[in-house]
A and B are shown apart, each in its own frame.
Chain A
């Protein structure tokens, strides 16, 4: 599909896009194999290779670059199963509500399947978690039917790494949000320009006594480290950036990993089994190459960064007689506690043009609801933004109670497209013992591997939380001056791109999969670093924390390796 990512041609002259890439033979025992090159995998590749280790990254997707990206929404972006995302025809997922139900083919697991993973086409909201996120069980107790627990680390442990993410990948924002936890450094870049949605959110929030603030976004407001600033093109949500302004792993971490001269990004390589020896140590990873031929890449240690769906799937597929329930799964926790965050959405129609399709998606946020008043009896919290729900393919949008076709609809189509926005409440969701991903006993993918099967029923608290956020969202729209408000959704998402919690970190090997160093409790030279590590869901926007965890994990793993303790 894509051409060679390392070269292109300009007026007939070859142009080098990436530095020459070091390659290894599968029989070379490299220091680390990393599975996945997404938000976390990119950081691991860059940090470990720059720290002097030899690294092979196995990535199932292709290596696309901005030359391949397009404004045509039919390829990639919001259309599932296209160029950027996982293709359910080849890799189906199945889902069901409870153990009693038969799982059916479904598109519950939504992720980027390219070098850079989900960071290539994401929205790039980059929120730090508040301090309370890490100690909720202690502070608020454990609700019935939930496995919520404290993290084995605290905000203070992560703060230096949050700062590192901001400076190393490029995050735009403004320090001083009263609801943001303490930070040691300002943002490297000022906020992106305010949009009409941001002005309206300010209006509504100020009226309600809330505190709107410039949104922290992993999109460059100005040129930074050799990359262009955002040019406010017409399509951002779900699209790959054509000017390298979106701070994806593809344009930040991966080129720097390659430049180390010690890192190979091996694409179209689908990992199917983490290999172990008689002493229970990892020896490498077997994958399908682009011709569906099985290849074993040998390694001294393995890092799984394949995301909260694919990492547990890979561990469960790596069962042996020594690890009958799957690798690193003596706790039975691999795949469990899956969380997707919750969302509450309402649409508002305004008097004048908003044109939210221009520029980055979000320019203002409200975090007053990070911690909820105890009197409400709700567990968790979240934040709000105002955003434009429509891209040109949504030109056929309608409004409840108004004509949906004919000349009458046509007269209103421009209003729906340019004068509407959505209030989006992003919320926490509770982990429960039975919500999980495992291997479907029947459905197989195009490589003959089992489909990931989701079992999920939202926790009752999360529906109540969603209802509250929906109502508050309506108040924000009305206070902002909306002429009409529509929609009624609020609750836990039963799928989507936030794939969290399925290999949780903790100090107790009986209730968690990895320790605070991201090392599998059961396997000394196996590490897991991605969204699966989350103990709690966060209040929306997980990726900033996924990358902060990855930077911290890289430091810990480097220290262990240098001390010959792997």
Chain B
């Protein structure tokens, strides 16, 4: 698979191709469930990568008047997914992180690492990344959004935080009216 196919932006009509995983693999990860202990060791990410992703994903989906990527445990999703359903994409993702590190190291003349920047500088650097390295940005955003909105059994979307944000409810049946415009037409 091409690196650029990995974790496509979720903005399109169809969710992107996220690497091959079999049904049994997918069911196996459900045992993982949400709520991994804060102190549990990472399966795939180094501590340094996890720290970086924590900051990046929290800028992409910040905690403000509603919970964000941190509360949804997006980094735990990324780690677990790379060990399971996205196993084939480990190398691609490492490359994305390396590209990110390389790009952001030029943000300040002193070559400071991303984590050494002030929060405002970090936000600015992410904006630059989106503008100048859209593929790298898209990969990071894509996997962040996936962790936010995938079924909680994959370790992210903790407490269905992502689904609450967008107004999706996983009930198994609905009756009309479904929305505003079909009221009175049931």
Interface residues, chain A, CB within 8 Å of chain B? Answer: 1, 68, 71-76, 78-83, 87-89, 107, 193-196, 198-200, 231-234, 238, 242, 345, 350, 352-359, 389-398, 404-407, 410, 413-414, 416-418, 422
Tell me if A405 and B126 are in contact (CB < 8 A): yes
Q: Is the interface of A mostly helix, strand, loop or mixed?
A: loop
Which chain A positions have C-beta within 8 A of B162?
A: 392, 395
Instruction: Apart from A74-B85, A234-B171, A234-B172, list 5 A-B contacts with CB within 8 A.
Output: A232-B175, A358-B179, A410-B62, A410-B68, A418-B179
Would you give the shortest CB distance from B17 to chain A, in whole angstroms? 5
Contact flag A74-B154 (CB < 8 Å), given A196-B182, A406-B59:
yes
| Residues of the A chain whose Cβ atoms lie less than 8 Å from the Cβ of B48 | none
B163 at the interface (CB under 8 A from A): yes
Within 8 A of A (CB), among B11-48: 11-15, 17-24, 26-27, 30
Which of B59, B170, B174 is close to A71, meaning CB atoms less than 8 Å apart?
B170
Contact B173 A231 (CB under 8 A): yes
Which of B12, B167, B168 has the largest count of A CB atoms less than 10 A from its CB? B168
B interface residue numbers (CB < 8 A to A): 9-15, 17-24, 26-27, 30, 59-62, 64, 66, 68, 85, 123, 126, 130, 141-142, 144-146, 148-151, 153-154, 162-163, 165-182, 185-186
Bound complex: CA A205 to CA B24 (Å): 46
Kindly state the separation between the CA atoms of A266 and B31 in the bound complex, as whole angstroms: 32
Q: Are B185 and A233 in contact (CB under 8 A)?
A: no
CB neighbours (8 Å) of B22 from chain A are 1, 82-83, 87
Contact A354 B181 (CB under 8 A): yes
B182 contacts across to A, CB distance below 8 A: 193-196, 198-199
- Which listed residue, B123, B166, B185, touches A418 by the CB 8 Å rule? B166
A195 touches B178 (CB 8 A): yes
Judge whether B59 and A393 touch: CB under 8 Å.
no
Chain A residues with CB under 8 A of B59 = 405-406
A-B contact pairs, 18 of them (CB 8 A): A74-B18, A81-B20, A107-B17, A193-B186, A194-B182, A354-B179, A356-B179, A359-B178, A394-B15, A395-B149, A395-B162, A396-B144, A397-B10, A405-B59, A406-B60, A407-B64, A410-B62, A414-B165
A233 to B18, CA, bound (A): 24
The reply to whether B26 and A82 form a contact with Cβ atoms under 8 Å apart is yes
Could you tell me the distance between the alpha carbons of A357 and B30 in the complex, rounded to whole angstroms?
A: 24
Determine if B179 and A1 form an interchain contact, defined as CB atoms under 8 angstroms apart. Answer: no
CB pair A234 B174 closer than 8 Å: yes
Q: Is the CB of A406 within 8 A of B23?
A: no
- Contact, CB under 8 Å: B17 / A79: yes
Asked if A410 meets B26 with Cβ closer than 8 Å, knowing A200-B181, A354-B180, the reply is no
Residue from A78, A238, A355, A410 within 8 A of B179 (CB atoms): A355
For the complex, what is the distance from the CA of A397 to the CA of B167, rounded to whole Å? 13
- Closest residue of chain B to A393 (Cβ to Cβ) is B15
**B26 near A405: Cβ-Cβ < 8 Å:** no
Q: How far is the CB of B146 from chain A (nearest CB, A)?
A: 7
A393 and B176: CB pair below 8 A?
no
Q: Is the CB of A74 within 8 A of B60?
A: no
B165 touches A196 (CB 8 A): no
Q: Select from chain B the residue with minimum beta-carbon distance to A83.
A: B23
User: How far apart sit A353 and B64, CA to CA, in the bound complex (Å)?
Assistant: 24
A72-B153, A74-B26, A405-B141 known; A417+B166 contact, CB < 8 A: yes
A505 to B21, CA, bound (A): 38
With both beta carbons as reference points, the residue of chain A lying nearest to B149 in the complex is identified as A395
Are A396 and B180 closer than 8 Å at their CB atoms? no
Do A232 and B179 have beta carbons less than 8 Å apart? no
CB closest residue in chain B, given A407: B64
| B130 and A404 contacting across the interface, CB-CB below 8 Å | yes
Partner of A395, one of B141, B148, B172: B148
Contact (Cβ within 8 A) A414 B167: yes
Contact A78 B14 (CB under 8 A): yes
